Amino acid sequence: MISIQGKGVSTGVAMGPLYFYQRAKTSITRETVADTAKEWQRFKAAQAKAIDELGELAEKARAEAGDEAALLFETHQMMAEDLDYEESIQGLIQDEALNAEAAVADTAEQFATMFAGMDDPYMQARAADVKDVSTRIIGILSGAVQGGIDSAVPVILAADDLAPSETVQLDKAKILGFVTEGGSGSSHTAILARTMGIPAIIGVGNQIKKEYAGREVIIDGTKGVVIVDADAATKNMMIAKMEEQRKTREMLEALKGKPNVTKDGHSIRIYCNIGSPDDVSSVLGNDAGGIGLFRSEFLYLNCDDYPTEDYQFEAYKKVLSDMGDREVIIRTLDIGADKQIGYFNLPKEENPAMGNRALRVCLNRPEIFLTQLRALYRASAFGKLLIMFPMVTSVWEVKEAKKLCERVKKELTAEGKAFSDDVKIGIMIETPAAAVISDRLAKEVDFFSCGTNDLTQYTLACDRQNADLGRFYDPHHPSVLRLLKLVCDNAHKNGIWAGICGELGADLSLTETFLSIGVDELSVSPRAVLPLRQKVRETNVAVVRDKIIEDLIG
Amino acid sequence: MKTFEYTIKDPVGIHARPAGLLVKEVKKFASAITITKGEKAVNALKLMALMGMGIKQGDTIKVSVEGADEEAAAAAIEAFFNANL
């Protein structure tokens, strides 16, 4: 038995085979092959697998969105087995002894050029379809794994650390828990694990060895421990813990459908933070009242180029319609700082956390922002949308962003496109500047949501990604809590509401404080909804409020 | 051999969706089905070549069907064009 100590960043116990994340290779090598018949067979096998995969995607799309949605994948299937396409690949392999990867790439280029050269813009855009299909076949040929995991059974996923673009593409159904070499408690892997409600252990360094791959491991996210080849006694103990976990879960299940009301009749809204439309099922599954923070970055991270208005529209529309009449707060693009996207070509900065990020990028490059706003407003016709701007520091920024919203609404009206005329606009309060002038900002918007991760980092001048600064990064610091109180007071004086959508919202040791300072909404990861509801229902604000406020401002 | 002519009514012409559906339809029959526009002729089983012809609204195409089940195939393909294009 091998026991490895790391840092637990998402609680729970999980057991399963260890699997190392497979990164896709991106470049293709050109080679001459000796056995062209064998190479052709290799292509045929990859082609068959691609057709199978596309068939599965088509069925999935059909089940979720009907025949029309499935047709895209069916067209891709037909492209993969198109006679001319196949003939061209066969020619390159058999006559020029080219390896299959390069033969597919060349053929893709040739067909893409044909489409790109047509005079119809619709047909020109089909070049992307041929390339997409070809990339899939090349991926299979070169052993790359879709979503990074090639396993029939769910696994404990090990990685050095995962980039945001990697976490969004993971096949979530295959993951029981995470173990990473590096990372911090606010890293994307940690956030994802908490959203999924599975354990995660970070910072195990080189203790997790490649040779453990495939062996049974048990991870305990509460203790931050990874056990490889557990002995019978340890295994039984962990199984007992998993059983206990299941019982707690059952007890929490009983809270579904119950209101978030304190003993003395105070109610608070409990919403969820999500990062992808796939998370909606866990939002509803945990009986959250709405979505308090939908990070729209996933759309940008998932693409190799700026996502189009239609692409974004479909994604927003899906979330809004899935959520029905529940509120969905979508945060506009928040990139820069620790979330970088290649095609944005943002210059490297000395100090990215204080640099060109979030709303600043959007106001500096309005064409990108307008595309997103158009997609958002169009989607607003399908549910209850609220739009939220990140990283605000000044009133003028909010005014400028709102002007762009007005422009979009005018454009859509002129084009005869439907949108809701009741889209509320809010901002994130995540800089000390915004908190301090929240009285003025409140006059411009319909709501506030405090992003406590950044608010803490900026208030304390303390990098949240730096593992060495753990004890200095204190979200319970009175300066942070006083700012939160100030924001709530200023919101209420101006007749708007204030929420918290940072990790702190789920911190049960602060629930009484939040209720006492009048926080109207807490947005937390789906798994935290029911424990938080339980805590709210056990609290009597009238009893605790005076002392909490006195301790805070006294 | 059975042939018929058809003038495309769909505003975007033979784009990916109907081309895909057409290939699906053609596959149901044993007959060889050829689509001709002007000088160019393609086998209707070839999706990308079909799309590559850039057949647009107002274009008149000739469809030839040859094989054991040509009667049934020609009727089905003509019905397909009327319904989808």
- Number of domains chain B contains: 1
Kindly report the CATH number assigned to the domain that includes residue A495: 3.20.20.60
Task: Give the residue, A139 or A399, on which the prediction is more confident.
Answer: A399
- The answer, for A388 touching chain B at a CB cutoff of 8 Å, is no
Residues A191 and A131 in one domain: no
Determine, for residues A82 and B46 on separate chains, whether the beta-carbon distance falls below 8 Å: yes
Does residue A27 lie in a domain region? no
Percent of chain A with pLDDT over 70: 96
Closest residue in chain B to residue A83, using alpha carbons only: B46
Determine, for residues A82 and B47 on separate chains, whether the beta-carbon distance falls below 8 Å: yes
Q: What is the model's pLDDT at position A143?
A: 74
Kindly report the CATH number assigned to the domain that includes residue A213: 3.50.30.10
Long-range contacts of A295-299 (CB under 8 A, 24+ apart): A295/A331, A295/A334, A296/A330, A296/A331, A296/A332, A296/A333, A296/A334, A296/A372, A297/A164, A297/A333, A297/A334, A297/A335, A297/A339, A298/A168
A122 pLDDT above the threshold of 80: no
Determine, for residues A114 and B16 on separate chains, whether the beta-carbon distance falls below 8 Å: no
Residues A163 and A272 in one domain: no
Q: What is the model's pLDDT at position A343?
A: 83
Kindly report the CATH number assigned to the domain that includes residue B37: 3.30.1340.10
CA distance B20 to chain A (A): 6
Does residue A257 lie in a domain region? no
Residues A239 and A94 in one domain: no
Looking at residues A487-513, what average pLDDT do you find? 96
Q: Which helix (H) or strand (E) holds B2?
A: strand B2-7
Residues A166 and A295 in one domain: no
Task: Reply yes or no on whether B63 is catalytic.
Answer: no
Q: How far apart are CA A329 and CA A331, in angstroms?
A: 6
Looking at residues B22-43, what average pLDDT do you find? 88
CA distance B66 to chain A (A): 19
State the greatest distance between any 2 C-alpha atoms of chain B, in Å, as a whole number.
34
Residues A58 and A109 in one domain: yes
The number of angstroms, rounded, from the C-alpha of A482 to the middle of its chain's C-alpha atoms is 30
pLDDT in tens, A422-452: 999 999 999 999 999 999 999 999 999 999 9
Residues A223 and A123 in one domain: no
- B→A interface, C-beta within 8 Å: 12-13, 15-17, 19-21, 23-24, 43, 45-49, 51-52, 54, 56
Boundary of a domain, candidates A98, A118, A141? A141
Looking at residues A44-57, what average pLDDT do you find? 90
As a whole number, the mean pLDDT across chain B is 87
Q: Judge contact between A375 and A340, C-beta under 8 A.
A: no
- Number of domains chain A contains: 3
Q: Residue A40 burial by CB count (10 A; 0-12/13-18/19+): exposed, middle or buried?
A: middle
A288 pLDDT above the threshold of 70: yes
Which region holds residue A158: left if phi is over 0, alpha if psi is between -120 and 50, else beta?
beta
CA distance B59 to chain A (A): 14
Identify all chain A residues contacting B55, using CB atoms and an 8 Å cutoff. none
Residues A370 and A436 in one domain: yes
Residues of A annotated as catalytic are 188, 501
Residues A56 and A13 in one domain: no
Task: Give the residue, B67 or A191, on which the prediction is more confident.
Answer: B67
Identify all chain A residues contacting B46, using CB atoms and an 8 Å cutoff. 82-84
Q: What is the model's pLDDT at position A170?
A: 79
Residues A285 and A197 in one domain: no
Q: How confident is the model at residue A165 (pLDDT cuts 50, 70, 90)?
A: low
Nearest to A74 among B12, B20, B46 (CB): B20
Looking at residues B49-71, what average pLDDT do you find? 88
The pair phi, psi for residue A338, each rounded to 5°, is -85, -5
Q: How far apart are CA A138 and CA A80, in angstroms?
A: 12
Determine, for residues A120 and B45 on separate chains, whether the beta-carbon distance falls below 8 Å: no
Q: Judge contact between A438 and A486, C-beta under 8 A.
A: yes
Residues A43 and A14 in one domain: no
Q: Go through chain A and tell me how many residues it has.
A: 554
Looking at residues A73-90, what average pLDDT do you find? 89
A132 pLDDT above the threshold of 70: yes
Boundary of a domain, candidates A80, A114, A141? A141
Catalytic residue among B4, B15, B47, B76: B15
Determine, for residues B48 and A82 on separate chains, whether the beta-carbon distance falls below 8 Å: yes
Residues A267 and A410 in one domain: yes
Kindly report the CATH number assigned to the domain that includes residue A113: 1.10.274.10
Determine, for residues B43 and A83 on separate chains, whether the beta-carbon distance falls below 8 Å: yes
Domain of A388 in residue numbering reads as 263-553
* Torsion sign across C-alpha atoms A190, A196, A197, A200: negative
Boundary of a domain, candidates A251, A285, A316? A251
Does residue A52 lie in a domain region? yes
Determine, for residues A78 and B20 on separate chains, whether the beta-carbon distance falls below 8 Å: yes
Does residue A26 lie in a domain region? no
Q: What is the model's pLDDT at position A429?
A: 98
Among A82-86, A110-114, A367-371, B52-56, the least confident range: B52-56
Determine, for residues A84 and B45 on separate chains, whether the beta-carbon distance falls below 8 Å: no
As a whole number, the mean pLDDT across chain A is 90
Interface predicted TM-score of the whole assembly (ipTM), two decimals: 0.84
Nearest to A111 among B15, B45, B48 (CB): B48
Looking at residues A487-509, what average pLDDT do you find? 96
Interface size between A and B, measured as CB pairs under 8 A:
47
Identify all chain A residues contacting B13, using CB atoms and an 8 Å cutoff. 120
pLDDT in tens, A209-241: 989 999 999 999 989 999 999 999 999 999 999
- Contacts of residue A382, defined as CB under 8 A and 6 or more positions apart, other chains included, come to A317, A320, A321
- The answer, for A79 touching chain B at a CB cutoff of 8 Å, is yes
Domain of B39 in residue numbering reads as 2-84
Determine, for residues A129 and B16 on separate chains, whether the beta-carbon distance falls below 8 Å: yes
A341 pLDDT above the threshold of 90: no
Residues A96 and A200 in one domain: no
Q: How far apart are CA A275 and CA A252, in angstroms?
A: 24
Identify all chain B residues contacting A85, using CB atoms and an 8 Å cutoff. 48
